[in-house]
Amino acid sequence: MKLYIISNRLPVKAVAEQDTFVFSRSEGGLTTGLNSLQGNYEKHWVGWPGICTDKEEEKQDICHRLEEMNLHPIFLSDEQYKNYYEGYSNSTLWPLCHYFFAYTLYRKSFWQSYQEVNALFCREIIRLVEPDDWVWVQDYQLMLLPEMLRQELPRLHIGYFHHIPFPSYELFRILPERAEILKGLLGADFIAFHTHDYMRHFISAAERVLHMDFSLDETRIGSRIVRVDALPMGINYDLYHNVSQQKNVWKAIERTRLLFGKHKLILSVDRLDYSKGILHRLYGFASFLEHHPEYHGKVTLAMVIVPSRDHVGSYAELKTRIDEEIGSINGRYSTMNWTPVCYFYHGFSFEELAAMYFIADIALVTPLRDGMNLVAKEYIAVKQDNPGVLVLSEMAGAAVELTDALLVNPNDTEQIENAICRALEMPFEEQKERMHRMQSIVSVQTVNKWAADFVNEWQEVAHKNKTMLLKKIGSQNMQEIQHQYLHAKKRLILLDYDGTLVPFQKRPEDASPTPQLLDTLQKLTADPLNHVVINSGRDHFTLEKWLGALPISFAAEHGAFYKENGVWHKNVHAQEWSPGLLSILKLFVSKTPRSHLEVKETALAWHYRETDAWLGRLRAQQLVNSLISICLKQNLQIMQGNKVIEIKSPEFTKGSEVNRLLLATRYDFILAMGDDTTDDDMFKALPVTAVTVKIGTASESARYNLPVQTDTLPFLQRLTDKSVVKAALKSGLKGQLSSAIDFLKRIINH
């Protein structure tokens, strides 16, 4: 099994030195986690090698050397890098996802290049993979790639992880290419985010922009399931926790202690970016110094900022403002032997950074928005018997897990000031307890576990899709069904209506039968061996109006009424609905736009198909909760269907009607087709030999599956077309005979 990891950059960087290239390997968290995956994987990595070159001989040299390490480079031109990476990825998507709408740039050239580079990745991956391989796409630079791959290789296993925040629908909808981005991601089988908030935002956007229907964490696209989940990424805990035992690190710890002396050390480590809240942090520290002069000369803020994109206007401006604020603080409060802010505008080695983590009394991690923030977890992991205090932004994904940190709103400088003060005054034992609890989380939720959890759940989805594929009616099992149908002497054909014979409509009254449906039903009923029954939740008046002219039987309102030999029968008396029950339903109609109440003779149905997806789910759950007590008292059943809540007598169901039919007549071929959970009652009441077909998502109660409603009529038409049936049977018999002859030949030759 091959696992291809696809990211914007390879875990190595190519650097030109004289007449050759030198490759430096990245040991970041993602690389560590993916390299740690246990299993029978042959791991490959596809991405940009960190260098732009137009020379074919240089490309060939880089390819040759990298492919020995299972690394496959994607070469970008300077223009592509500028428009795809610095443009659409980091000037459009990055600010939008981090809620900096004012910084978002929209340019046609950005979007064109983003499409072009995603297609470039797609072509290279197609060249490398086999149709049944596993491809794990990483992050926002490649959001179109999953669907591009799906179009080319439908069987490919595709996963996607989003490492940055996914914005709320109200912000995401601003993006002109919102639909294309969502469709791109939904090409994956499994999509994961750091937090449930990001997951919820994505589902909300997909439902509202693409009108997808999600059932909790899953949606159906064609014949496959797409699952969405939250999997918080961790760090290599053991690496950080044991780092102080290394001699070179301990020497770095001693040097760092000498540098900062006996001052309480507050550590801030960030890449230069407007999302990191660096200025707000400085404002909070300045406010702390202003209001707490007793700490002057006793507390130092070590501000480490790693350079990033400072040639870009907004970043250059940010750096200037940071420089000015640090200068202002130091100019105002410095003494001959104390500088409040020690400013480092460069990166540090792993050993030096670990030393700072080790001695820091406080880690000040206050991004305005951050997908996860691993600095917070690294600080926790390094600590041994020298606890410290983590001051953490509520807007960082890590805040979901690290609730023992001092959580602050990073926009509130007063909160930052108060948190610094509280951290400095926190008793040693409380520091130890909080740190221990956070370490117990970080030590378990490691990057290794994150990677393994992703792959395990991805495989679960793949297994589910494979099971669905096995249930899907293909040519072979279609022949088997046709064979049973043709040789049967008495057939029972049970058909649900809405979602099975006709597609769902926003207004139920618009779902009248099409000419094609009427023609198909006429052909079914023309065969005297067939007993055709429409087994529906619809009211009997509508079924009679639409289909009553046909010589078919009906079971209406979930078995409350049935029609045989042209005569309607009633299994239950008409319900007299209590004012209390009706008032609840009418209240929910009034508070849920575009919902409506259908009053049947034996059932009440609250429809919310036209309602906003999120609001509809909320109101449906609220309605069920409101109905439970009154329905229990009145011995009524609550049924949750496809965008409908029904209240009815529990005495009759679609299954009870099946039982009545089976007691009355013996059938040697039974076909049942339905799309809803209510149809499971019908499937379960039938013998195991029945041909039970679930439309849409596969069901454990049904033997077969048709992925979409539009497959229903072609299936029934093939069943009734005797020329097709006989041809299929003839072909099938020929195939069986040929196989038998081949088998006998092998025995004779042996």
Assign 213 a pLDDT band (cuts: 50, 70, 90).
confident
Record the tokens describing residue 369, joined without a space.
């928005």
User: Is residue 711 in some structural domain?
Assistant: yes
CA 375, CA 690: separation in Å to the nearest integer? Answer: 59
At which of 629, 646, 663 does a domain end?
646
**Strands ordered across the beta sheet of 596-599:** 596-599, 603-607, 644-648, 637-641
Residue with token string 């050397």: 65
Residues 595 and 562 in one domain: no
Phi first, then psi, for residue 56 (nearest 5°) are -65, -40
Per the structure, how many domains does the chain have? 4
Assign 574 a pLDDT band (cuts: 50, 70, 90).
low
DSSP 86: I
Residues 521 and 632 in one domain: no
Q: Which residue has the higher pLDDT, 733 or 135?
A: 135
User: Is residue 132 in some structural domain?
Assistant: yes
DSSP 70: T
CA 644, CA 653: separation in Å to the nearest integer? Answer: 16
Residues 30 and 147 in one domain: yes
- Secondary structure of residue 121 in the 3-state scheme: helix
User: Is residue 731 in some structural domain?
Assistant: no
β-pairing, 224-230 with 218-221? antiparallel
CA 535, CA 526: separation in Å to the nearest integer? Answer: 19
In angstroms, what CA-CA distances link 20 with 15, 17, 49, 66, 486?
9, 6, 14, 13, 73
- Asked if residues 541 and 548 have their Cβ atoms less than 8 Å apart, the reply is no
CA 438, CA 532: separation in Å to the nearest integer? Answer: 64
CA 169, CA 80: separation in Å to the nearest integer? Answer: 29
- Region 143-166: mean pLDDT is 96
pLDDT at 24: 74
At which of 646, 674, 698 does a domain end?
646
- Secondary structure of residue 349 in the 3-state scheme: coil
- Asked if residues 364 and 392 have their Cβ atoms less than 8 Å apart, the reply is no
- Region 273-287: mean pLDDT is 96
Residues 45 and 186 in one domain: yes
User: In sequence order, what are the residues at sequence separation of 6 or more whose Cβ sits closer than 8 angstroms to the Cβ of residue 314?
Assistant: 103, 274
At which of 646, 663, 696 does a domain end?
646
pLDDT in tens, 1-14: 799 999 999 988 77
pLDDT at 206: 95
- Asked if residues 133 and 157 have their Cβ atoms less than 8 Å apart, the reply is yes
Residues 346 and 417 in one domain: yes
Residue 356: which of 406, 295, 302 has the closest Cα?
A: 302
Q: Fill in the amino acid letter for 175.
A: L
pLDDT in tens, 46-67: 999 888 888 888 888 888 888 8
CA 621, CA 627: separation in Å to the nearest integer? Answer: 10
Assign 738 a pLDDT band (cuts: 50, 70, 90).
low
pLDDT at 68: 85
pLDDT in tens, 536-556: 988 889 999 999 999 999 999
Residue 191: which of 162, 166, 163 has the closest Cα?
A: 162
Query: Residue 571 CA to chain centroid, in angstroms?
Result: 45
CA 537, CA 498: separation in Å to the nearest integer? Answer: 9
What sign results for the dihedral spanned by CA atoms 665, 668, 669, 670? Answer: positive
Residues 658 and 697 in one domain: yes
- The CATH number of the domain holding residue 390 is 3.40.50.2000
Q: How many CA atoms lie within 13 A of 149 on its CB side?
A: 35
- Region 411-430: mean pLDDT is 96
User: Is residue 27 in some structural domain?
Assistant: yes
- pTM of this prediction exceeds 0.85: no
Residue 617: which of 656, 645, 581, 583 has the closest Cα?
A: 645
pLDDT at 626: 92
Greatest mean pLDDT among 56-70, 330-344, 500-514, 559-573 lies in: 330-344
User: Is residue 196 in some structural domain?
Assistant: yes
CA 641, CA 144: separation in Å to the nearest integer? Answer: 34
Cβ atoms < 10 Å from Cβ of 50 = 15
User: In sequence order, what are the residues at sequence separation of 6 or more whose Cβ sits closer than 8 angstroms to the Cβ of residue 79?
Assistant: 113
pLDDT in tens, 718-730: 988 766 555 555 5
Residues 356 and 262 in one domain: yes
In angstroms, what CA-CA distances link 665 with 194, 397, 490, 662, 683?
57, 62, 9, 5, 18
- Asked if residues 192 and 185 have their Cβ atoms less than 8 Å apart, the reply is no
CA 548, CA 556: separation in Å to the nearest integer? Answer: 12
- Region 76-92: mean pLDDT is 94
Q: Fill in the amino acid letter for 291.
A: H
pLDDT at 29: 56
pLDDT at 745: 57
pLDDT at 743: 47
Record the tokens describing residue 281, joined without a space.
């942090």
Q: Which domain holds residue 152?
A: 1-228
- Asked if residues 424 and 266 have their Cβ atoms less than 8 Å apart, the reply is no
Record the tokens describing residue 557, joined without a space.
């309102």
User: In angstroms, what is the C-alpha Rg of the chain?
Assistant: 33
Residues 519 and 607 in one domain: no
pLDDT in tens, 172-211: 999 999 999 999 999 999 999 999 999 999 999 999 999 8
- Region 446-469: mean pLDDT is 91
Of 354-358, 408-412, 724-728, least confident by mean pLDDT is: 724-728
pLDDT in tens, 214-247: 888 999 887 789 999 999 999 999 999 999 999 9
- The CATH number of the domain holding residue 599 is 3.30.70
Q: Fill in the amino acid letter for 447.
A: V
Q: Does the active-site annotation cover 679?
A: no
β-pairing, 644-648 with 669-674? unpaired
pLDDT at residue 341 greater than cutoff 50: yes
pLDDT at 619: 92
pLDDT at residue 488 greater than cutoff 60: yes
pLDDT at 722: 67
Active-site annotation holder among 139, 189, 496, 675:
496
- Averaged confidence pLDDT in the chain: 90
Residue with token string 């000015």: 324
pLDDT at residue 739 greater than cutoff 70: no
Residues 633 and 535 in one domain: no
Residues 210 and 357 in one domain: no
- Secondary structure of residue 493 in the 3-state scheme: strand
Residue 235: which of 36, 11, 410 has the closest Cα?
A: 36
Torsion angle, alpha carbons of 654, 655, 656, 661, to 10: 90
pLDDT at 37: 66
What sign results for the dihedral spanned by CA atoms 565, 567, 572, 574? Answer: positive
Share of the chain above pLDDT 70, in %: 94
Residue 402: which of 437, 367, 427 has the closest Cα?
A: 437
User: Is residue 742 in some structural domain?
Assistant: no
- Asked if residues 652 and 476 have their Cβ atoms less than 8 Å apart, the reply is no
- Secondary structure of residue 237 in the 3-state scheme: helix
Helix (H) or strand (E) holding 533: strand 530-535
Assign 439 a pLDDT band (cuts: 50, 70, 90).
very high
- Asked if residues 111 and 97 have their Cβ atoms less than 8 Å apart, the reply is no
Record the tokens describing residue 681, joined without a space.
């009652």
User: In sequence order, what are the residues at sequence separation of 6 or more whose Cβ sits closer than 8 angstroms to the Cβ of residue 163?
Assistant: 30, 138, 139, 140, 194, 233, 371, 372
Query: Residue 36 CA to chain centroid, in angstroms?
Result: 23
Record the tokens describing residue 312, joined without a space.
């870009």
pLDDT at 33: 61
pLDDT in tens, 618-659: 899 999 999 999 999 888 889 888 889 989 888 888 888 899
DSSP 514: P
pLDDT at residue 75 greater than cutoff 80: yes
User: Is residue 727 in some structural domain?
Assistant: no
User: Is residue 455 in some structural domain?
Assistant: no
- The CATH number of the domain holding residue 670 is 3.40.50.1000
Residues 269 and 345 in one domain: yes
What sign results for the dihedral spanned by CA atoms 200, 201, 206, 211? Answer: positive
Q: Which residue has the higher pLDDT, 261 or 289?
A: 289
Record the tokens describing residue 349, joined without a space.
């080695």
pLDDT at 222: 79
pLDDT at residue 329 greater than cutoff 80: yes
Residues 494 and 549 in one domain: yes
